[in-house]
Amino acid sequence: MSLQPCRPAPALTLVNELPDHGPRIEALLNRAFGPGRFAKVSERVRELADFAPELSFVHTREDRVLGCVRMWRAACGDQPIVFLGPLAVEESERKHGVGALLVEQACAAAQAAGEAAVVLVGDLPFFGPLGFEVAPDVMMPGPVDPKRVLARRFAPVDLRGMVGAR
């Protein structure tokens, strides 16, 4: 039996999302989430919020888009926030830290832009180590498991109320 060499970690290139990435991002999101992706409550937020390409990133290799994170300027009650999502990494590229890196980069950009907090709907076991915690007073514009409504604060802001447009 011959030993297989370890698969090397991929070279990472994160760049801001550009309009040209759009069709490849859509294809990645369709593969990652399937046809139910537009039924998610996060989509209701995205319909109300303003897309922030300068806070959104893609991981590319050659001309392929292998990961993406999108960010949206929104509000929670009266408090301006950034809403994160969708986040996706091509299945063959997962478990190399790309997902965590995309989240870190998007959060760093939001903080550098003076934003006070990032809110998302996701799994605490993945997002907790990235600085997110359950945000029990944040209300979403549709049914959601409250344990999956998470926030990362850059300042001591009071996050309570409905997530919607600024």
Ligand X SMILES: CC(C)(COP(=O)(O)OP(=O)(O)OC[C@H]1O[C@@H](n2cnc3c(N)ncnc32)[C@H](O)[C@@H]1OP(=O)(O)O)[C@@H](O)C(=O)NCCC(=O)NCCS
* Sign of torsion over alpha carbons 102, 105, 110, 113: negative
Which residues make Cβ contacts (< 8 Å) with residue 142, sequence separation at least 6?
A: 41, 44
**Does 14 help bind ligand X (rule: CB under 6 A)?**
no
DSSP state of 154: S
32 binds ligand X (CB under 6 A): yes
| 12 sits near ligand X (criterion: CB under 6 A) | no
CB of 105 to ligand X, least distance (A): 12
Task: Note the Cα 82 to chain centre separation in Å.
Answer: 10
**Could you say whether residue 24 binds ligand X (CB under 6 A)?**
no
Give the span between the Cα atoms of 41 and 19, in whole angstroms. Answer: 24
Contact flag: residue 106 with ligand X (CB under 6 A): no
- Which residue of 126, 154, 160, 161 would you call a contact of ligand X, by CB under 6 A? 126
Put residue 97 in one of left, alpha, beta given phi > 0 → left and psi -120 to 50 → alpha.
Answer: left
CA 107, 67, 64, 37 dihedral sign is negative
Q: Is 68 in the site for ligand X (CB under 6 A)?
A: no
Return the residue nearest ligand X (CB atom).
Answer: 99
Least gap, CB of 95 to ligand X (angstroms) = 5
Q: Tell me the closest approach of the beta carbon of residue 58 to ligand X, in angstroms.
A: 13
Q: Does 45 bind ligand X (CB under 6 A)?
A: no
With contacts defined by CB under 6 A, how many residues of the chain interact with ligand X? 16
> Vertex 11, ends 122 and 98: CA angle to 5°?
5
In whole angstroms, how close is the CB of 137 to ligand X at the nearest point?
A: 20
Q: Which positions lie near ligand X, rule CB under 6 A?
A: 32-33, 87-89, 94-100, 122-123, 125-126
